[in-house]
């Protein structure tokens, strides 16, 4: 319990101390007009209250990640606590804040366009394709996931596909309507439900008969059932994504970059929501490690239920929070992914509108872009959910890595402290390269060979990046 409480304290301290440090390095300009005011169109660009933006951003980035990812990550043991805490502060929050603020500085541009500004046209074209594919994956995952959960809650009365249809209709409306209509009105309710759910679990942990494992040298190891098949590095760092660092967040930040009234709000909205998500992930990880008895019992329970994190979340919610609390928790579990799925499609629409310079004031123009996205997403629902999720997890972390390199390039060009993103960029490059070499959905190479291969690829990418950034900086200085 001591390690758990200390971890929460460090996360909160990270917001006030390291968050302020990152904000100072970026250099906010409170007097500068934001895109919400300068480019207001009352569809995507419009100023919203700060508290509303915070809840929208929080729900956008939360999804199933800090719940399902944290439960799956808890199977590795207390090592998950370390990744959630240090990942959230030094990687995730920095990634979210600086990518969000770069969008603010560039008229609310989508992340693929920002990548192009700092890493070149070839990377822009690649990232346009990559982010659209990722967002469709997200929309598909967060379409099937909540549909299955609600179907289970209602004891299969209507069937999964009826719920898929209902959620899809909501996604269409939330993608097409102005942001202050459905999203602006529903998110505060769902946000409060999700936060109350986490608070309820936290209270249950403190006052119930639960024993959270401590961060001791003997516990900092791979505690999964089959450590050789699931090496802690890199599997843990992809399993827990949204609770530590996630590229999906960079696709969502432009939505709120188009609604902020002042640059000074960036730390609260972007850095603050990532830290909040880290706290939620920490609570779910600790709960999973204790609810079933211990980490070994968690692994046994998950194995007996096909590693179904939705089943585990359902069991935890109903048993730890009782009737009303359980309903509230399940509302959070269902609402969280839905409120990431709808904005995934909305983000995809905005990226495509940026690419084709297609004005979005008219509903007809929004339909032209959105309909193909929903057709593709529905087609993907026919593929096994587990396969979609695994590829989403890797592509999600790969996008985060590219965004970190992009921000590093920006900081180099601006003569700012680029090490704040260079270090996490190097680490995440090693994670993603090693993962695709060793993972079942990758090349399935032996662990030692994967480590060597990951290190060599990381070194090569670093050299190419350094050459590109130094050459471009010379051009900038000459101009």
- Domain of 23, CATH number, reads 1.20.1740.10
Q: List all residues 6 or more positions away from 278 whose beta carbon is below 8 Å from its beta carbon.
A: 11, 66, 84, 85, 87, 88, 89, 92, 93, 243, 244
Q: Supply the range of the domain harboring residue 214.
A: 2-386
Question: Is 452 within a domain?
Answer: no
Q: List all residues 6 or more positions away from 295 whose beta carbon is below 8 Å from its beta carbon.
A: 74, 75, 77, 78, 213, 223, 289
Question: Is 423 within a domain?
Answer: no
How far apart are the two ends of the chain, measured CA to CA in Å? 57
Question: Is 446 within a domain?
Answer: no
Check: CB of residue 253 under 8 Å from CB of residue 95. no
Question: Is 62 within a domain?
Answer: yes
Report d(CA 436, CA 285) in Å as an integer: 25
Residue 243 in tokens: 């609770």
Report d(CA 46, CA 213) in Å as an integer: 46
Residue 247, SS3? coil
Question: Is 473 within a domain?
Answer: no
Question: Is 113 within a domain?
Answer: yes
Q: How many domains is the chain partitioned into structurally?
A: 1
Check: CB of residue 273 under 8 Å from CB of residue 96. yes
Q: What angle do CA 184, 190, 193 make, to 5 degrees?
A: 145
Per-residue pLDDT of the chain (479 residues; tens, 9 = 90+): 789 999 999 999 999 999 999 999 999 999 999 999 999 999 899 999 999 999 889 888 876 678 888 999 999 999 999 999 999 999 999 999 999 999 999 999 999 999 999 998 889 998 988 888 888 877 877 787 778 778 877 777 888 888 888 888 888 898 888 888 888 888 778 777 788 888 889 999 988 888 899 888 888 899 998 888 889 999 999 989 888 999 989 988 999 999 999 999 999 999 999 999 999 999 999 999 999 999 999 999 999 988 878 788 878 888 888 776 667 666 667 777 787 788 888 888 988 888 888 888 888 889 899 888 888 888 877 766 555 666 777 888 999 999 999 999 999 999 999 999 999 999 999 999 999 999 887 889 999 999 999 999 999 999 999 988 888 777 765 55
Q: List all residues 6 or more positions away from 338 whose beta carbon is below 8 Å from its beta carbon.
A: 142, 146, 167, 170, 190
Check: CB of residue 283 under 8 Å from CB of residue 195. no
Question: Is 64 within a domain?
Answer: yes
Residues in the chain: 479
Q: What is the pTM of this model?
A: 0.91
Measured from the Cβ of residue 170, the count of other Cβ atoms closer than 10 Å reads 17
Question: Is 433 within a domain?
Answer: no
């Amino acid at each position: 319990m001591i390690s758990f409480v200390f971890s929460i304290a460090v996360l909160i301290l990270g917001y006030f101390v390291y968050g302020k440090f990152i904000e100072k390095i970026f250099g906010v300009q409170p007097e500068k007009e934001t895109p919400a005011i300068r480019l207001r169109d009352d569809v995507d660009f419009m100023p919203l209250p700060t508290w509303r933006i915070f809840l929208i951003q929080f729900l956008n980035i939360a999804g199933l990640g800090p719940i399902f990812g944290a439960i799956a990550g808890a199977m590795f043991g207390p090592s998950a606590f370390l990744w959630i805490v240090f990942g959230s502060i030094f990687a995730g929050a920095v990634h979210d804040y600086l990518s969000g603020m770069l969008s603010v500085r560039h008229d609310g541009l989508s992340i693929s366009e920002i990548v192009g500004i700092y890493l070149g046209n070839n990377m822009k074209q690649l990232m346009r394709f990559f982010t659209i594919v990722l967002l469709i994956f997200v929309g598909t995952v967060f379409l099937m996931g909540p549909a299955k959960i609600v179907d289970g809650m209602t004891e299969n009365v209507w069937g999964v596909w009826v719920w898929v249809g209902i959620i899809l209709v909501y996604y269409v409306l939330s993608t097409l309507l102005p942001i202050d209509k459905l999203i602006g009105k529903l998110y505060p309710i769902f946000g409060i439900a999700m936060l109350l759910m986490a608070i309820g679990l936290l209270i249950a942990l403190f006052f119930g008969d639960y024993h959270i494992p401590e961060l001791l040298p003997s516990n900092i190891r791979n505690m999964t059932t089959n450590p050789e098949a699931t090496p802690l590095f890199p599997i843990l760092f992809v399993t827990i994504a949204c609770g530590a660092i996630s590229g999906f967040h960079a696709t969502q930040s432009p939505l709120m970059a188009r609604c902020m009234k002042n640059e000074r709000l960036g730390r609260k909205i972007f850095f603050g929501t990532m830290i909040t998500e880290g706290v939620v992930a920490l609570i779910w990880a600790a709960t999973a490690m204790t609810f079933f008895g211990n980490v070994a019992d968690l692994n046994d329970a998950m194995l007996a239920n096909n590693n179904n994190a939705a089943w585990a979340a359902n069991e935890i919610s109903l048993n730890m929070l009782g009737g009303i609390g359980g309903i509230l928790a399940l509302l959070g579990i269902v609402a969280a992914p839905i409120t990431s799925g709808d904005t995934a499609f909305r983000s995809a629409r905005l990226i495509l509108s940026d690419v084709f310079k297609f004005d979005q004031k008219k509903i007809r123009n929004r339909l032209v872009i959105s309909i193909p996205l929903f057709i593709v997403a529905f087609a993907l629902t026919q593929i096994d959910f587990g396969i979609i999720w695994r590829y989403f997890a890797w592509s999600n972390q790969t996008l985060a890595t590219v965004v970190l390199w992009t921000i590093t390039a920006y900081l180099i060009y601006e003569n700012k402290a680029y090490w704040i993103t260079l270090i996490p960029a190097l680490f995440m490059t090693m994670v993603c390269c090693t993962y695709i070499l060793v993972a079942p959905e990758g090349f399935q190479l032996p662990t030692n060979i994967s480590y060597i291969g990951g290190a060599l690829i990381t070194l090569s990418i670093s050299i190419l990046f350094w050459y590109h950034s130094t050459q471009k900086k010379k051009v900038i200085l000459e101009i």
